[in-house]
Amino acid sequence: MAIMRPGPLAGQLSGRVGGIVFSRNRGGDYVRNGPSPINPATFYQVEARNALGLASTLWDTLGDPGRASWVSWAQANPVQNRLGESIRLQGNAAMVSLNARLALLGIAVQTAPPIVGPPSPLLTCTGTFSIATPANFKIAFTGTPLSANIGLVVVGCKVPSLGISFVKNLLRSFTVSPPAEASPFEIGVDFIARFGVPYLGQKIVLRVGCIDFTNGQLSSMIPVEGLAIA
């Protein structure tokens, strides 16, 4: 692994170019060889690909006015990239990103862009991770209940070692609540189905946000961490 210090022509770097991966940890920027991608074709991977394909084909069915409305919406609604910078997506990318979420949830895709802003984030969120009692593998949040048409979206992981603090590459989506969910929300069955049973004392990391079921917009995500207990 090589350490690098970007100069005036290259600021912070993140991502992959060919077989080279640019990343950053607490020691600074570094470059490493990237692993060869594999195609395990898991249930979750296939579902995500199907949703992305369905959303992508929708763009071809829109007329010029429909495409123009998405271009205008994307310009007015920037998103953050992996470096935390504000960027503006192209109209087709904005449409696909929202509709892929809806398709993955089995909700009808939308040909028109949203007319309201994204849902508000949760005020607070904490977790209890009991591996012996699935009903106590849950998250508690405020404000509760959620509004109509708003659900929780939860991504997470089991951390292999307590010494690992960078987990962004481990996080995976594993559950979404029904709309108007009230606190607490049980996540144990879905978590174990996705990641397997944690061992006692293993670190659990989640990111929890809100999703609007009418348009696919997400709120900002709240970090939640804890240890697996009996």
0.85 exceeded by pTM: no
Q: Where in the chain is the domain with CATH 2.60.40.10?
A: 124-227
How do the pLDDT tens digits run along the chain, 230 residues long? 455 556 555 555 566 665 576 666 555 666 666 665 566 667 667 777 888 888 888 898 999 999 999 999 999 999 887 767 888 999 999 999 999 999 988 899 999 999 999 999 999 999 999 999 888 999 999 989 999 999 999 999 999 999 898 898 899 999 999 999 999 999 999 999 999 999 999 999 999 999 999 999 999 999 999 999 99
CATH of 124-227, one of 2.60.40.10, 3.50.50.60, 3.40.50.150, 3.30.1330.60: 2.60.40.10
Give CA–CA dist 204/162, Å, rounded. Answer: 10
Give CA–CA dist 208/222, Å, rounded. Answer: 5
